[in-house]
Amino acid sequence: MNRNQVRPQRRHATPSRIERVRRQAVPKPRVIIALLLLLGLVSVMLLDGYLRAEVGNDQRVRSDASASKVPDSVLDGGPFLSFQGGAARTRSVPDKTIVLTFDDGPDPEWTQKVLDILDDNDVPGTFFLVGSMISRYPDVVRRMVDDGNEVGVHTFTHVDLSYQSAARVTREIAQTQLALAGAAGITTTLFRAPYSSTNDAIDNYTWPVYQKLGAMGYTSVFIDTDSEDWQQPGVSKIIKWATPKNGKGASVLFHDAGGNRAQTLEALPRYIKMMKSKGYTFTTVSGAQQNAQGQQAEGQQAQGQQAQAPQGTPAIAGDARQSNPEQAAHRTADTATLWEGRALLGAVAVAEWTVPGLAGVLAVVGVAVLGRFAIMLLLARRHYRQRNRRRFSWGPSVTGPVSVIVPAYNEKECIANTLNSLAASTHPIEIVVVDDGSTDGTAEIAESLGLPNVRVIRQPNAGKPAALNNGVRHARYDIVVMMDGDTVFEPDTVQRLVQPFGDPEVGAVAGNAKVGNRGTVIGAWQHIEYVMGFNLDRRMYDLLRCMPTIPGAIGAFRRDAVLEVGGMSEDTLAEDTDITIALHRAGWRVVYAEHARAWTEAPASLGQLWRQRYRWSYGTMQALWKHRKSVTDRGPSGRFGRVGMPLVVLFQIVTPVFAPLIDVFTVYAMIFVDFKASLLAWLAVLLVQLVCAAYAFRLDRERYRYLLMLPLQQIAYRQLMYLVLIHSCVTAATGGRLRWQKLKRTGEVGTPAPGTGVR
The span from the CA of 321 to the CA of 124, in Å, is: 8
- Asked whether the beta carbons of 746 and 604 are under 8 A apart, the reply is yes
Cβ-proximal residues to 535 (8 Å cutoff; 6+ apart), any chain: 512, 594, 696, 699, 700
Cβ-proximal residues to 10 (8 Å cutoff; 6+ apart), any chain: 462, 570
Query: Smallest Cα–Cα separation from 82: which of 223, 216, 253?
Result: 216
Alpha helices in 52-137 (DSSP H): 72-75, 110-121, 131-136
The span from the CA of 512 to the CA of 599, in Å, is: 9
Alpha helices in 475-605 (DSSP H): 493-498, 521-529, 536-544, 559-564, 575-585
Cis peptide leading into 8, omega within 30 of 0? Answer: no
- Nearest-10 Cα torsion for 388, 394, 400, 401: -70
Query: Smallest Cα–Cα separation from 50: which of 133, 137, 138?
Result: 133
Residue 255 designated active-site: yes
The span from the CA of 551 to the CA of 555, in Å, is: 6
Cβ-proximal residues to 349 (8 Å cutoff; 6+ apart), any chain: none
Give the start-end residues of each E strand in 367-518: 402-408, 429-436, 454-459, 479-483, 487-489, 506-515
- Asked whether the beta carbons of 243 and 208 are under 8 A apart, the reply is no
Convert 257-284 to b/e letters by CB count within 10 Å (16 or more is b).
beeebebbbebbeebbeebeeeebbbbb
Edge-first strand listing for the sheet containing 454-459: 454-459, 429-436, 402-408, 479-483, 554-558, 506-515, 589-600, 487-489
* Count of all residues that appear for the chain in the document: 759
Angle at 571 between CA 568 and CA 574, to 5 degrees: 65
How deeply is 256 buried, as exposed, middle or buried, from its count of CB atoms within 10 A (0-12, 13-18, 19+)? buried
Catalytic-labelled residue, pool 48, 103, 224, 484: 103
The span from the CA of 112 to the CA of 732, in Å, is: 49
How many angstroms separate the Cα of 248 from the Cα of each of 54, 226, 604? 39, 14, 81
Residue 146 designated active-site: no
The span from the CA of 381 to the CA of 48, in Å, is: 44
Q: Are strands 402-408 and 429-436 parallel, antiparallel or unpaired?
A: parallel
Point out which residues pair with 458 in neighbouring strands.
435
Give the start-end residues of each E strand in 534-634: 554-558, 589-600
Cβ-proximal residues to 270 (8 Å cutoff; 6+ apart), any chain: 235, 239
Catalytic-labelled residue, pool 107, 160, 224, 255: 255
Long-range contacts of 432-435 (CB under 8 A, 24+ apart): 432/403, 432/404, 432/405, 432/406, 432/457, 432/471, 432/474, 432/475, 433/406, 433/408, 433/457, 434/405, 434/406, 434/407, 434/408, 434/459, 434/467, 434/468, 434/470, 434/471, 434/474, 435/408, 435/409, 435/459
The span from the CA of 211 to the CA of 188, in Å, is: 17
Q: Which residues are designated catalytic?
A: 103, 255
